[in-house]
Amino acid sequence: MMESASHEKVGLLASWWVRLTAMPNMIACKVSEIAKNTKKLGQDDPRRVFHSLKVGFALTLVSLFYYYQPLYDNFGVSAMWAVMTVVVVFEFSVGATLGKGLNRALATLLAGALGIGAHHLASLSGQIGEPIVIGFFVFLQAATSTFIRFFPQIKARYDYGLLIFILTFSLISVSGFRDDEILELAHKRLATIFIGGSACVIISIVVCPVWAGEDLHNLIAANIENLGSFLEGFGDEYFKTLEDAESKDDKAFLQAYKSALNSKSSEESLANFARWEPGHGRFHFCHPWKQYLKVATLTRQCAYRIEALHSRLTADNKVSPEILNIIQESCTKLSLETGKALKELAAAFKEMTKSPSPETHMAKAKAAAKSLRSLLKSGLWEDTELLEVMPAATVGSLLLDVVNCSEKIIESVNELAFLANFKTVEATVSQEKSQLGKLDTKEKNPNMDVVVTIAEAPSVLPENGKKVGSQQMEV
């Protein structure tokens, strides 16, 4: 028994020794992993690094009101409200910071005025009735403000302001019961909050600004482009028409569409923040941000159809080659042209221009859809079992639905382009085409320069210019 107990102690000590010796390596690996994640986080979006520096600079700036004696003599302990304002107001984007800052400032101003009024009314009711009246006012405003927060439109834009309103009204009205200098208290609190909020807004706009509207614009453009990339490659992937289809290693485009499925909350938040932002760059004041949400909703609906198409790539249902050959050309062309239309639309949308290319590709997709629809309605499937036809018919039906969704996306983007005054590129394209046409004509007919010179200088023609003109027309 003694020997077994001693062996157990030795084994326990040995295990602890192994853990102790391995701990430095574990700590080093953990530190290395944290460093890699930190580096990756900064490289993915360098704006995060600048945002962190901006917050640190703003906090250091407003802390001077507490460290610098002349400023501290004016504000006292209330200077800490400026620090608290920076901590809770400074957000990643300009719109979020401006929205929170305005909410906090207006709520503090309104609640301070009402709190002083409530304190004055309560003081008229005598020493016994004063706490009862103050308690009634606090209960009434807290219950009313909390209920108002349940309205969706109020909650989306003014929820933080209502919270600050409840807090400020309660602090001023209740503290005024024990403190006679309530006006000075309200003045210092409002002044320090205004200073902290102003520091946040100015630094957020001036130093490396991050615009929520621009992020929303780029996010929707990327989602539309991802849908187009999937549709461009779906036909070849499904029918295996490319020779190297089996050897493709990079199939990330088949998964990129999922970003549109998971971006609803981000889109709504960015649209809400963008409404607070002033005009900047290509985005003027009162930009049609609601139309962006409409485009995002249609893009998400199209992504759900594409997810159903993606499931057909991994389905176990096998379709006979004869059936695939019947619909292959129409499906491939439909998918390809729809993908090109969406990618052209995304490129023009990102540059905030109007291009006729999406409509051109969409017209070809509609022609292919018409051909596919006629094939699905024809009697080519009478001698085939239903179970063999259903997978191919499902793919064809989903592609037809995708064409309809894509057409709605193009119409919605065109409406947004009209509301936001996107620039048109039709004139540039037509000029380029005309120049290319002239170059092609010159290559085909080298003597064209001579003919054009004669035609453009009729004043130097001889008296028998009509005869030359007739020869020119013959040439």
In which element (H, E) is residue 424 found?
strand 423-424
Average pLDDT of span 322-330: 77
Per the structure block, which two tokens stand in for 88? Answer: 């809770």
At 357, which CATH number?
Answer: 1.20.58.220
Whether 274 is covered by a domain: the verdict is yes
CB 192 within 8 A of CB 82: yes
Whether 95 is covered by a domain: the verdict is yes
Whether 20 is covered by a domain: the verdict is no
C-alpha to C-alpha distance for 272 and 308, rounded to whole angstroms: 31
How confident is the model at residue 5, as a pLDDT?
Answer: 62
- 3-class state of residue 447 by DSSP: coil
CB 274 within 8 A of CB 95: yes
Are both 225 and 315 inside the same structural domain?
A: yes
- How many CA within 13 A on the CB side of residue 10? 6
How confident is the model at residue 89, as a pLDDT?
Answer: 92
Q: Return the exposure string of 298-337: e unless at least 16 CB atoms fall within 10 Å of the residue's CB, then b.
A: bbbebbebbeebbebeeeeeebeeebbebbbbbbbbbbbb
Are both 305 and 418 inside the same structural domain?
A: yes
Q: What percent of the chain has pLDDT over 70?
A: 79
- 422, 444, 463 - which closes a domain: 422
Highest mean pLDDT among 25-39, 61-75, 152-166: 152-166
Whether 111 is covered by a domain: the verdict is yes
The pTM for the full model equals: 0.77
Are both 200 and 332 inside the same structural domain?
A: no
Are both 64 and 114 inside the same structural domain?
A: yes
Beta-carbon contacts of residue 316 (< 8 Å; ≥ 6 apart) = none
How confident is the model at residue 373, as a pLDDT?
Answer: 82
C-alpha to C-alpha distance for 131 and 379, rounded to whole angstroms: 87
CB 306 within 8 A of CB 257: yes
One-character DSSP codes across 28-45: HHHHHHHHHHHHHHHHH-
Are both 336 and 265 inside the same structural domain?
A: yes
Q: Which of 385, 407, 400, 383 is nearest to 327 (CA)?
A: 400
Instruction: Tell me the per-residue pLDDT of 259-304, one tens digit each, with 9 for 90 and over.
Output: 888 889 899 999 999 999 988 888 888 889 999 999 999 999 999 9
Count of C-beta atoms within a 10 Å radius of residue 345:
26
Question: Among positive and negative, which fits the CA dihedral 344, 349, 352, 356?
Answer: positive
Average pLDDT of span 48-53: 92
Whether 428 is covered by a domain: the verdict is no
Instruction: Tell me the per-residue pLDDT of 434-474, one tens digit each, with 9 for 90 and over.
Output: 444 444 444 444 444 433 333 333 333 333 444 333 333 33
- 206, 231, 264 - which closes a domain: 206
How confident is the model at residue 15, as a pLDDT?
Answer: 74
Per the structure block, which two tokens stand in for 168? Answer: 């400020």
In which element (H, E) is residue 277 found?
none
User: Domain tally for the chain?
Assistant: 2
Are both 220 and 256 inside the same structural domain?
A: yes
- Expressed as residue numbers, the domain containing 369 is 212-240+252-422
Residue 202 has pLDDT above 60, yes or no: yes
Residue 136 has pLDDT above 80, yes or no: yes
Are both 218 and 198 inside the same structural domain?
A: no
How confident is the model at residue 279, as a pLDDT?
Answer: 85
Are both 330 and 315 inside the same structural domain?
A: yes
C-alpha to C-alpha distance for 75 and 196, rounded to whole angstroms: 13
- Place 74 in a pLDDT band, splitting at 50, 70 and 90: confident
Whether 198 is covered by a domain: the verdict is yes
Whether 436 is covered by a domain: the verdict is no
- 3-class state of residue 280 by DSSP: strand
C-alpha to C-alpha distance for 336 and 242, rounded to whole angstroms: 14
Are both 107 and 131 inside the same structural domain?
A: yes
Count of C-beta atoms within a 10 Å radius of residue 444:
8
Average pLDDT of span 91-102: 92
- 407, 422, 437 - which closes a domain: 422
The strand pair at 423-424 and 353-354 is best described as: parallel
Average pLDDT of span 324-345: 86
Q: Which of 197, 221, 208, 211 is nearest to 275 (CA)?
A: 211
Point out which residues pair with 398 in neighbouring strands.
none
Per the structure block, which two tokens stand in for 94? Answer: 């300009």
Residue 388 has pLDDT above 60, yes or no: yes
How confident is the model at residue 433, as a pLDDT?
Answer: 42
Question: Among positive and negative, which fits the CA dihedral 233, 238, 241, 242?
Answer: positive
Are both 226 and 171 inside the same structural domain?
A: no
Whether 185 is covered by a domain: the verdict is yes
In which element (H, E) is residue 423 found?
strand 423-424
Strand residues in 102-162 grouped as ranges (E): none
Q: What percent of the chain has pLDDT over 90?
A: 30
Are both 291 and 364 inside the same structural domain?
A: yes
* Helix 465-474 with 448-456: angle, nearest 10 deg: 150
Are both 199 and 307 inside the same structural domain?
A: no
For the chain, give the mean pLDDT. 79
